[in-house]
Amino acid sequence: MVRTALLRLVAWLLAAAVTFVTLGPEDVRPHPVLGQQGDHALAFLLVGILFSLAYPQRRWTVSAVAVALIGLLEIMQLWVPGRHARFADFVVDALSACAGFALSAAAGRPIAQVGEDPAPLTRERP
């Protein structure tokens, strides 16, 4: 319970940070470390992973909402001076978030199986 609440808090804080960096003033934007597309990909990959871990029972819903909000975030840049909305940025961001959801789901299966009881090696006779 505490773990889920902490994951949700961190996921939403990261989403808020990405939103602020995307729509905030130019002087608060970090300089690209991995290039513009690389920084976008890393940020939204982490968003996808964290939201997938925070809402494991709703991965499909959360991933669809994430893609819609990424599109909205890109469109909102039309009203920010010095920013521009690009379809290529949307594609990178959305695909990266979806990759984060997929990686988290794929990693979650083996981890969940570790906690399961192993199948009995022998069969009991009646």
Secondary structure of residue 119 in the 3-state scheme: coil
In a domain, 120, yes or no: no
Which CA distances in Å does 122 have to 27, 83, 111, 113? 67, 66, 25, 20
Distance CA(21)–CA(125), nearest Å, equals 65
Give residue 50's pLDDT.
Answer: 94
Domains contained in the chain, number: 1
pTM of this prediction exceeds 0.75:
yes
In a domain, 122, yes or no: no
Q: 47 and 18 in contact (C-beta within 8 Å)? A: yes
Secondary structure of residue 31 in the 3-state scheme: coil
Greatest Cα-to-Cα distance within the chain, rounded to the nearest angstrom? 77
Give residue 29's pLDDT.
Answer: 78
Give residue 99's pLDDT.
Answer: 96
In a domain, 121, yes or no: no
In a domain, 29, yes or no: no
Q: What is the DSSP letter of 86?
A: -
Residue-level pLDDT, tens digit, the chain, 126 residues:
788 899 999 999 999 999 999 898 878 777 778 888 898 999 999 999 999 999 988 989 999 999 999 999 999 999 988 888 889 999 999 999 999 999 998 887 655 444 444 555 555 555
**Domain that includes residue 14, residue range:** 1-24+35-106
